[in-house]
Structure 1
């Protein structure tokens, strides 16, 4: 929209408060603030939702892989070495990790907690949780050492620290003439790690693969083979050639099947929040509409004079559309700045609100993640900006056309 010099001057004059126009300026200011709050709310919520999904994906898939090969009916994989070689030869598969994973129970001085025992080869263990260790060292967790690494939540629940002991109970022990005798093995805590997902940190007990096989009486079998691919979004196409080779040995399940309900719920919630918060921006744009209508009514005499001086209808349309769009652009800019500040200090904001209200707003046992995540998507921010601009543009059409249709003869006749 190209304005000439006098059109820019008039538009600037209408954007600033004049004598007796304080109320119109107040309404326009409220419109600008409303647009800013709407844009900021939409950017913040969408960024937090994106961050929540990305953090869940990185942590869940990062620990459990992009797909797994499991034995039928919970049976172990005895020919797992051949399957690992077949997987590693599949184009797009970056790693194939044999492991044992079984829900059991851990006890310390009468306190019992459900745990998820995971047995891994030492190099795979270091790759998975080496950078997550908070206390102790994985160097102490070696085959035959009877040492394990546990999650920080489990350590807190059982009151454990590095060097303490815990007992892991396997109810499916050896059969005796008097029934099945539970298998209880004592382990020393060699390291404590923190994944960042409450349920994982409170459950995982990680040990060398051989120790886990001995605990679960699996012999040389493993429970599953964890697969990682070069592109998680194309995991189905990448693993398609491997599926026929796995048939007869086990089942191939990818991350979308393992976590389908969780990520589908997040996708639905994300779309719902976008629609709901878009309504806030729409309401803010109606404020722009109302302020422009009042401005046109207040400037009826000025419009008539401009028309008699030679101003065209197109010039008046451009002037009032410029006023409305400028309010929208300023609101978008202010909203973007506000959203940036909020996202940068998001965890501080949560802590301050918790301190004021006395409520735990981010309980990891409910929110899954230990901190409030955020990930800004430039495409979404662009979409929000364009959507707000379109709404602001549409809101200016009626007032601008109304101003352009003013009949100077009828107006000036009664002046």
Structure 2
């Protein structure tokens, strides 16, 4: 135990840089380690947050699983939902929906929109629309034959709408006697709430209306276009969708929430590893600085090493002496880098709330939750320590293999 404590004391004396050089270069090496680790923590947190935010924005708006009928609407909704329950059980929540592509018209402005009709009694069990309301309330009541609707905030901003304002939704329909002619169906709606759906495309196209109002706009009577399902866990969506597709068969079409952005989610998984490897180069560069620092330390302390060996210090003691120097730089640099990275993540989250630093038109999402995962932090910390440890081996071995006579020859 005494020799270990003595080794730590000698290590500390060397790192303080009694002769000047090691203290300065060790500080630069540690600074590089801090920047590399902090950059990696921030990058991983942003990627993880992007993935989580994207998943929430999809699941909150479309549910976990969507079941529809190819090329036709579904007539008997009750028997259809009972059929689904016999396949996957009665523990899940379901709500029917109608989707209509139309045009919003107001004061000479036009914009293509998607009107989704939802059943007020069951929609809250499946979709999390109420928590995404930033103005107004979830009110789809019909007053004076004008239904209330919720609009994405992009539409509200584009058409300069206020709560209580009325607007028209136009659905073009071809004339049955002349395919070149159209007879539009027009319905007036009233704005009762503004939604922040988390995605640029949703916020600029999405209108939520009552199921009956959407059915009247589409002229499909009491039929619906599909059913949305909510499951206890997000990961259950794919196997449940596969089972429904197998048991229901044609003409029913089953999709889970990952199908809506499958390529994007796959890209995020690859980008996570690519970012980790690319930014790890900064840590490797800092580790080379640590290695060169230890090499110079060995060269400067040939005489000191020789004296230690002369009084009985073993090769393993000398090896441990220099390895400890590199590991101290790695541990302190990694720890400070983690703290700096966490602080930067907090600053990034704060900046998002104050300024629009991520254009939604480019990044799809209107904002990103910065998510620091424990596994990512451990991976970054372990990788930085491993890289730093490996960088100390060569100079430490050089010092350990020094013969005492070489260091004392010119003393």
Matched, 1:340 2:342: yes
Which deviates the most, 83-92 or 112-121?
Answer: 83-92
Give structure 1 stretches of 5+ with no counterpart. 355-359
Native 8 Å contact 1:37 1:335 kept in 2: yes
Deviations 1:238-296 (A, max 9, x none): 34443344223411112222221121122222221111111111111111101100111
Q: Name the CA distance, whole Å, in 2 between partners of 1:137 and 1:243.
A: 36
Determine the structure 2 residue equivalent to 1:213. Answer: 215
TM-score by length of 2: 0.92
**Deviation of 1:38 (Å):** 0.7
**Deviation of 1:207 (Å):** 0.6
**Deviation of 1:173 (Å):** 6.0
Determine the structure 1 residue equivalent to 2:42. Answer: 44
Native 8 Å contact 1:133 1:191 kept in 2: yes
Q: 1:303 to 1:333 in 2, by over 3 A?
A: same
Determine the structure 2 residue equivalent to 1:134. Answer: 134
Matched residue of 1:146: which SS? strand
Which deviates the most, 121-130 or 28-37?
Answer: 121-130
Matched, 1:260 2:262: yes
Q: 1:326 to 1:2 in 2, by over 3 A?
A: farther
Matched residue of 2:168: which SS? strand
Determine the structure 1 residue equivalent to 2:52. Answer: 54
Q: 1:411 to 1:325 in 2, by over 3 A?
A: same
Which deviates the most, 162-171 or 257-266?
Answer: 257-266
Matched residue of 1:123: which SS? coil
Native 8 Å contact 1:174 1:183 kept in 2: no
Determine the structure 2 residue equivalent to 1:308. Answer: 310
Matched, 1:7 2:3: no
> Pairwise mapping of residues 249-328 of structure 1 onto structure 2 (< 5 A)?
249-328=251-330
Q: 1:288 to 1:71 in 2, by over 3 A?
A: same
TM-score by length of 1: 0.92
Determine the structure 2 residue equivalent to 1:155. Answer: 156
Determine the structure 1 residue equivalent to 2:98. Answer: 100
Give structure 2 stretches of 5+ with no counterpart. none
Aligned pairs, number:
406
> Pairwise mapping of residues 117-132 of structure 1 onto structure 2 (< 5 A)?
117-126=115-124, 128-132=128-132
Native 8 Å contact 2:284 2:387 kept in 1: yes
Deviations 1:145-191 (A, max 9, x none): 42211111110011101111111110126646684311111111122
Q: Name the CA distance, whole Å, in 1 between partners of 2:92 and 2:344.
A: 38
Q: 1:3 to 1:188 in 2, by over 3 A?
A: farther
Q: Name the CA distance, whole Å, in 2 between partners of 1:413 and 1:262.
A: 66
Native 8 Å contact 2:174 2:181 kept in 1: no
Q: Name the CA distance, whole Å, in 2 between partners of 1:361 and 1:190.
A: 29
**Deviation of 1:370 (Å):** 2.2
RMSD: 2.2
Q: 1:121 to 1:140 in 2, by over 3 A?
A: closer
> Structure 1 stretches (4+) deviating beyond 6 angstroms?
none
Matched, 1:169 2:166: no
